Structures are given as C-alpha cells and as structure tokens.
C-alpha cells in the first residue's frame, strides 16, 4: 500500500547524517530538533503553536484534557473513522455521539451535527478522512452558535488547504480550537516510529497542553493537574525536520496517482472514484473507491493474485463495535456509514508510484469488471 523504503532511499544521506548527529549528542529526549521541528511545522501550517507528542491518539486525548471536559459531557464525532477518535472519549469518561458522513466526501454530515446537539454537548471532532477536510466553515458556524469547542482530527490530511467562502485559505487542522495529527510511518508526514502533534492559535491552550504532555508539571516537580507522559523523541523530530520540506511535493505525487486512477476508472460504471469537495484540496492519504454491485472480496482476491494489495478502511462501523456497546447510538441515522463499510476499497497510493505500477494496477482492476 505504501513504499517507505523507496522514499527513504531518496533522503538517506540527510537522514543518516541526522541520526549520527543525534546519536553522538545522546540528547534523545527534548533534544534541539524537537523544538526546531515544532517551530518549522508551525511556520508551515501558519499556526501559532505546535506541541509535539508521542502519537496521534495521545494528541486527541490531550486535546480533550486541555478543554477540561467532564465525565458525561457529550462529544460529537463521526461513525466512519479510525477507532482512536472514539476510544479517547471513552478513556476520559466522555460520551461519544456518533453521526453519519456524506456518501460522496465521507466527511461529517452537517444537518446531523446540528440535530445531535443537546445541552450536554461540549465539543465536535470532525475527521478529515482520507486527506480532505470536512465542511469546516459550517462546523465553525455551528460551534460558535452553540458555544462548542472544535478539535480537528487531522491525522490523515496534514498539508491540505481549506478555502472559505470569502476565498481565505487556511491549512487543515488550524481552523478549529485545536488540531491533532499523527506521524505514524504511513501517514502523509510519517516518521520512523510513532509520533504526533497538536496545533492551536490559543496561547492558554498551548500552555496547558505543554504541561499536560509533561505529567501536568508547571515548574519542575510542581504539578498543577493530572497529565500524561507523551513526547516526540529527538530521533523522530530529526527525521520529520528532513521530511517536512518535502510534504507539498509528497502531496503532489499522491495527487498525480489519484488523477491517474480517476482517468482509468472513469468509464467503469461499477466504480465511484473519490469526490473532491469544493472547499478543500485533497492530499490523498488514501485513494478510496466505492464499488457498486460488486463482490468486493472476489475483487480483492483477484488483485492479490497479481500481488496487488488493497485495503478496506473501514470494514465495521464504530457504533457496532463490541468495545463501544456501553454507549447508546442512533443506529438508524448511521446508514451511510453502514453502506460505506460494505462498499469501500482503498488502492495503493504513495509518493514513489511509477506509471508502470499504475498501469498494471488499473489494468488488473478493469480486467475484473470486464470479464
Ligand atoms: C492514524 C489516525 C489516528 C491515530 O494516530 P496514531 O499516531 O496511530 O495514534 C487518529 N485518527 C485518525 C483519523 C487516524 O487516521
């Protein structure tokens, strides 16, 4: 699905030099690359503060902790996402309210968001699924109207640009009160292990987050709040500093792959290619097809014969997962997610794909449908 070896080969001299340098310094925790990376990412995103941490799940959890939400507070997010988004709500004793996504962009349904708000609602967590932003302008409008916090789960869309109706542009993840991201190796900006970050323009939230990430400490060995231990280590920060200047070029490579797939599948009636929303660029963390009246398992088996990987993101709606049955979900309103879980199929997409590989994959996909 990804080619991390090919990508590493292209930046190997710089990476290896950086690794040698950090190994020699032995500053594995809070070495200078950590603060430098935070500053450089903040500059790239045009956001005031970046707080790095151990992974994207911690980033979500710390965002909720910084907002000081209390057990029983309701947080609205989508049913069609990676489990981390919902899991952290459970860990903090918050009540997840799951709503559906639009069938075409697969991001948060705004009408359902409005209807899901109750006096207990405290926050909204839109997920910029597969590399494209949710309708942030509408979400921020509703949040303002009801005085709610917005945490953008930007694990899959770092680098995407959101355009407001007045033509103003902002980077994904910097529009809400807080944005969270993951540097898991296969994410669009991946390190060589685990890593994550939060972003915010709010000085006081930034201060609180720095303390939360460091055991709730203010002054050394004085603790103001219950915190966690969540750090991006220096080796990972060093790698990310080398990869960040390539992020836009990585996105362009992914967009080229997506355009190739789009063109190849445009006449196949059984394949719906990913819709681009009018308000966001798409950085294609995944290239996800929707298959109409198709035996998806048979297609996956057919592709596997030719060593072509394919993945189902996500096979089961979160509201039906065993882990979350303690919560009450409005299952009748989650039909789009149920349908998507049966229809989606993600094809390989990464920064190192050759035209030859793309030709091979698209030919084999079409062969399945034309037989
Ligand atoms: C990857 C991902 C996360 C979690 O990130 P980790 O670094 O793996 O903890 C959270 N939300 C979404 C949507 C993701 O894709």
Query: Ligand 1 centroid to 77 CA: how many Å?
Result: 14
Helix 56-66 to helix 203-213 angle (10° resolution) is 120
Is 103 within 8 Å of 340 (Cβ atoms)?
A: yes
For ligand 1, what atom is nearest to the CA of residue 156? 15
What is the percent of the chain with per-residue pLDDT over 90, rounded to a whole number?
A: 98
- Whether residues 76 and 196 fall in one domain: yes
* pLDDT for residue 343: 97
Determine the average pLDDT of the residues in 302-327: 97
- Whether residues 179 and 300 fall in one domain: no
- Whether residues 172 and 118 fall in one domain: yes
Q: Is 321 helix (H, G, I), strand (E, B) or coil?
A: coil
- Whether residues 219 and 307 fall in one domain: no
**pLDDT band at 362; cut points 50, 70, 90:** very high
Beta carbon of 196 within 6 Å of any ligand 1 atom: yes
Query: Ligand 1 centroid to 221 CA: how many Å?
Result: 31
* Atom 6 of ligand 1, nearest CA residue: 56
Beta carbon of 84 within 6 Å of any ligand 1 atom: yes
Supply the range of the domain harboring residue 274: 246-370
Query: Ligand 1 centroid to 312 CA: how many Å?
Result: 16
Mutate-to-test residue for ligand 1 from 125, 131, 182, highest number of ligand atoms within 8 A of CB: 182
- Whether residues 68 and 162 fall in one domain: yes
Beta carbon of 55 within 6 Å of any ligand 1 atom: yes
Instruction: Examine the fold and report which residue of 189, 223, 245 is the final residue of a domain before the chain moves on.
Output: 245
Domain holding 281: CATH number? 3.90.1150.10
Query: Ligand 1 centroid to 176 CA: how many Å?
Result: 18
- Whether residues 235 and 124 fall in one domain: yes
- Whether residues 38 and 120 fall in one domain: yes
* pLDDT for residue 106: 98
- Whether residues 267 and 201 fall in one domain: no
Mean pLDDT (the chain, rounded): 97
Helix 234-243 to helix 4-25 angle (10° resolution) is 130
Beta carbon of 56 within 6 Å of any ligand 1 atom: yes
Query: Ligand 1 centroid to 157 CA: how many Å?
Result: 11
In tens, the pLDDT along 31-79 reads 999 999 999 999 999 999 999 999 999 999 999 999 999 999 999 999 9
- Whether residues 204 and 260 fall in one domain: no
Instruction: Examine the fold and report which residue of 211, 230, 245 is the final residue of a domain before the chain moves on.
Output: 245
Is 1 within 8 Å of 348 (Cβ atoms)?
A: yes
* pLDDT for residue 144: 98
Query: Ligand 1 centroid to 255 CA: how many Å?
Result: 21
| Other CB atoms within 10 A of residue 255 CB | 17
* pLDDT for residue 279: 97
Domain holding 88: CATH number? 3.40.640.10
DSSP states along 237-287 = HHHHHHHGGGHHHHHHHHHHHHHHHHHHHTT-TTEEPPPPPSSB-B--S-E
- Whether residues 324 and 234 fall in one domain: no
- Whether residues 161 and 305 fall in one domain: no
* Atom 5 of ligand 1, nearest CA residue: 56
Lowest mean pLDDT among 207-211, 306-310, 367-371: 367-371
For ligand 1, what atom is nearest to the CA of residue 129? 13
- Whether residues 113 and 241 fall in one domain: yes
In tens, the pLDDT along 97-146 reads 999 999 999 999 999 999 999 999 999 999 999 999 999 999 999 999 99
* pLDDT for residue 371: 73
Beta carbon of 82 within 6 Å of any ligand 1 atom: yes
**Alpha-carbon distances of 201 from 42, 51, 131, 179, 294, rounded to whole Å:** 10, 11, 22, 10, 46
Count of the separate structural domains present in the chain:
2
In tens, the pLDDT along 175-200 reads 999 999 999 999 999 999 999 999 99
Instruction: Examine the fold and report which residue of 229, 245, 261 is the final residue of a domain before the chain moves on.
Output: 245
Q: What's the start-to-end Cα distance of the chain, in Å?
A: 25
Residue 314 has pLDDT above 90, yes or no: yes
């Amino acid at each position: 699905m990804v080619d991390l070896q090919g990508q590493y080969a292209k930046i190997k001299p710089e990476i290896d030099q950086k690794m040698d340098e950090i190994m020699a310094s032995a500053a594995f925790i809070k070495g200078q690359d950590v603060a430098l990376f935070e500053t450089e990412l903040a500059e790239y995103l045009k956001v005031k503060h970046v707080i790095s941490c151990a992974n994207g799940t911690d980033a979500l959890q710390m965002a909720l902790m910084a907002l000081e939400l209390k057990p029983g507070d309701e947080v609205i997010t989508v049913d069609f996402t990676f489990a981390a988004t919902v899991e952290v709500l459970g860990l903090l004793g918050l009540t997840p309210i799951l709503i559906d996504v639009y069938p075409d962009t697969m991001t948060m349904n705004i009408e359902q968001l409005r209807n899901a708000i109750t006096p207990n609602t405290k926050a909204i967590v839109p997920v910029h699924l597969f590399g494209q932003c949710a309708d942030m302008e509408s979400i921020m409008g509703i949040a303002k109207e009801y005085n709610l916090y917005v945490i953008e789960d930007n694990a899959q869309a770092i680098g995407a640009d959101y355009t407001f109706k007045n033509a103003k542009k902002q980077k994904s993840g910097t529009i809400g009160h807080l944005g969270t991201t993951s540097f898991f190796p296969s994410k669009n900006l991946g390190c060589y292990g685990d890593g994550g970050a939060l972003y915010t323009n709010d000085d006081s939230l930034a201060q609180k987050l720095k303390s939360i990430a460091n055991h709730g400490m203010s002054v050394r060995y004085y603790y103001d709040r219950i915190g966690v231990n969540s750090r991006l280590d220096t080796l990972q920060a060093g790698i990310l500093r080398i990869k960040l200047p390539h992020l836009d070029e990585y996105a362009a490579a992914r967009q080229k792959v997506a355009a190739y797939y789009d063109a190849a599948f445009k006449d196949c009636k059984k394949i719906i290619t990913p819709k681009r929303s009018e308000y966001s660029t798409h950085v294609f963390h995944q290239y996800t097809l929707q298959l109409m009246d198709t035996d998806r398992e048979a297609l996956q088996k057919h592709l596997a014969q030719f060593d072509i990987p394919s993945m189902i993101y996500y096979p089961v709606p979160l509201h039906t997962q065993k882990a979350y049955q303690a919560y009450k979900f409005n299952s009748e309103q989650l039909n789009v997610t149920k349908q998507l879980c049966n229809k989606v199929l993600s094809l390989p997409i990464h920064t190192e794909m050759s035209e030859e590989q793309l030709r091979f994959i698209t030919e084999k996909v079409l062969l399945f449908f034309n037989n």
